[in-house]
Chain A
Amino acid sequence: MGAGHAHVLYRESTSPVHRLPPEVKIAAMVVFTVAVVATPREAYWAFGGYALLVAAVAALARVGPRWLVSRALIELPFVLFAFALPFLGAGERIEVAGLSLSVDGLLGGWNILAKGTLGVLASLLLAATTTTRDLIIGLDRLRCPQILTQIATFMLRYLDVLVGEARRMRVARVSRGDDPRFLWQLRGFAAGVGALFLRAFERGERVYLAMVSRGYSGRMPAVWQGAGAATAGQWAVAATVPVAAVAIAAVAVVLT
């Protein structure tokens, strides 16, 4: 435990995007995503504009395209759904390379592919430039109810407890002669899942009591000390991307 609770997706850097306070980044990301989703799917040029915005932010944050693309594979199941739609969709059909495809299905597939990808890229950029600790501080400053930020704080803390406890139990099993391979690991894991939960809880409870005895009362010190909250200037800087996206969406809605 101790320092360094940064999560796997965080990219250590001091770029201008990293230095922005978390609350403005969260707000910018949410507005950007809503603007993308509200865009009519026939406005193909608009999605090119959004992609340029994402690329500009990525360049500014010094996040490489290869890193982004490999992490974006999480949406693969949806991409498969998107490719199935042209075959499943109803209505008017066109012939492409000998295949009978539904026009509505093609547009729907494109819709999912474009909007899904842009959304995933936007959240990856947020994750790459913001630590989870900052993320929760940002949510708190955006007036998220304290009970939610509290659950989120403990969730992120206890993830490490859970992983550590699982590793200890695995070492204990192996050192007693268990030889887990590939799928057979699952059996040992399933048998021990209740014990894992209990052990992690008891460790977590001690962490919690230690925090309480050191003055924890539901919020982390960084939040109520109030240092580092966003200034009007920082809000204005971060607003450039969502404002551009909303402008693109508005033009697209008017034109189509």
Chain B
Amino acid sequence: METLAMHISNGIINGPVAAVFAAFALAVLTLCVLRGRRDLDDRLAPMAGLVAAFIFAVQMLNFPIFTAGVSGHLLGGALAALLVGPWVGALCVAVVLVVQALVFGDGGVAMLGLNITNMAILGTAAAYLLIALLLRVLPRTPAGLGVTAFVSALVSVLVASQGFVLQYWLGGTTDLGGNLAGLAGTMAGVHLLIGIGEGLVTATTVVTVAKVRPDLVYALRARKPAALAPAVPVTGGVR
């Protein structure tokens, strides 16, 4: 059976369900805007832009998993949650999705609510809950951070893919009969592979950033306020 890229295109889910999820996404994003404004300072603003650009770039790499139309791409929810926090992180992913829908036609505009719910809200929320939990449990070493990044990225991708299954169950335009379980299984299987790739990219990126500029990692900043704050960021002499 064939499955599809993460962005839901127009006409796959019926209108009423799309409208409900659009209202849900709008409500959650409003909350994110209100909470995110507090977070967005001079250090986070360029970081949020770069995280969004990075996610935009990796989402362009659609890699085929099997030859027959199965493709997927990295989502970036966990990376965003780790580096800029859950509120701004969800906004970053949402901005990527909006621009892709408006400019590239990747994912239908009328289905934006569904896509934002899956990738920006569900993916980032699942990732951040896991990050908050794992950072408390695991040792405070680069390896611990790497495992946290890997696991949260993997789970967030799976959660996002099952969000699509839920939406298809609620309002798929074609009745697949007993194939819904098959759809769930295929989505989970494919996204397990994507999740491993996403986990590796997220873990290497976050561990590198945490080693050189720990002040830039939001998830670490929230845990130990004002400790170790390097007043003079040692940067610059690279080029």
Interface residues, chain A, CB within 8 Å of chain B? 7, 9, 26, 29-30, 33-34, 36-38, 41, 71-72, 74-78, 80-81, 84-85, 88-91, 104-105, 107-109, 111-116, 118-124, 126-127, 132, 135, 145, 147-148, 150-159, 161-163, 190-191, 193-195, 197-202, 204-205, 207-209, 212
Complex Cα distance, B15 from A47, in Å, reads 16
Contact (Cβ within 8 A) B49 A90: no
Within 8 A of A (CB), among B101-126: 101-106, 108-111
Contact (Cβ within 8 A) B45 A158: no
Complex Cα distance, B3 from A80, in Å, reads 9
Q: Which residues of A contact B27 (CB under 8 A)?
A: none
Contact (Cβ within 8 A) B102 A155: no
Which of B42, B49, B71, B209 has a CB less than 8 Å from the CB of A204?
Answer: B49
Given A124-B105, A191-B204, 4 additional A-B pairs, CB 8 A: A88-B174, A115-B10, A123-B102, A198-B208
Contact (Cβ within 8 A) B45 A37: no
Contact (Cβ within 8 A) A88 B108: no
Contact (Cβ within 8 A) A118 B174: no
Q: Tell me how far the C-beta of A148 lies from the nearest C-beta in chain B, rounded to whole angstroms.
A: 6
Contact (Cβ within 8 A) A126 B103: yes
Q: Tell me how far the C-beta of A125 lies from the nearest C-beta in chain B, rounded to whole angstroms.
A: 10
Which of B109, B206, B207 has a CB less than 8 Å from the CB of A29?
Answer: B109
Within 8 A of A (CB), among B31-56: 33, 36-37, 40, 42, 45-50, 52-54, 56
Complex Cα distance, B112 from A26, in Å, reads 14
Complex Cα distance, B49 from A150, in Å, reads 8
If the complex has contacts A85-B174, A104-B175, A162-B57, are A77 and B69 also in contact, measured as CB distance less than 8 A? yes
Within 8 A of A (CB), among B64-109: 68-71, 88, 91-92, 94-96, 98-99, 101-106, 108-109
Q: Tell me how far the C-beta of B181 lies from the nearest C-beta in chain A, rounded to whole angstroms.
A: 13
Which of A80, A116, A153 has a CB less than 8 Å from the CB of B10?
Answer: A116
Contact (Cβ within 8 A) B177 A111: no
Does B176 lie at the interface of the complex (its beta carbon under 8 Å from any beta carbon of A)? yes
Which of A38, A80, A195, A200 has a CB less than 8 Å from the CB of B50?
Answer: A200
If the complex has contacts A154-B45, A155-B96, are A119 and B9 also in contact, measured as CB distance less than 8 A? yes
Q: Which residues of A contact B70 (CB under 8 A)?
A: 77
If the complex has contacts A33-B110, A36-B10, A152-B99, are A197 and B209 also in contact, measured as CB distance less than 8 A? yes
Subset of 22 A-B contacts with CB under 8 Å: A34-B109, A76-B69, A88-B174, A88-B176, A91-B177, A104-B174, A112-B12, A116-B9, A116-B11, A123-B104, A123-B109, A126-B102, A148-B95, A154-B46, A158-B52, A161-B53, A162-B54, A162-B57, A163-B57, A200-B50, A201-B213, A208-B49
Instruction: Count B interface residues, CB 8 Å.
Output: 71
Contact (Cβ within 8 A) B208 A197: yes
Residue of chain B at shortest CB distance from A35: B110
Contact (Cβ within 8 A) B102 A26: yes
Contact (Cβ within 8 A) B11 A127: no
Complex Cα distance, B101 from A134, in Å, reads 16
Q: Tell me how far the C-beta of A256 lies from the nearest C-beta in chain B, rounded to whole angstroms.
A: 14
Q: Which residues of A contact B46 (CB under 8 A)?
A: 154, 158, 201, 204-205, 207-208
Q: Which residues of B contact A161 (CB under 8 A)?
A: 50, 53
Q: Tell me how far the C-beta of B113 lies from the nearest C-beta in chain A, rounded to whole angstroms.
A: 11
Complex Cα distance, B11 from A111, in Å, reads 6
Within 8 A of A (CB), among B1-18: 1-5, 9-12, 15, 18
Q: Which residues of B contact A120 (CB under 8 A)?
A: 9, 105
Q: Which residues of B contact A151 (CB under 8 A)?
A: 48-49, 52, 88, 91-92, 95
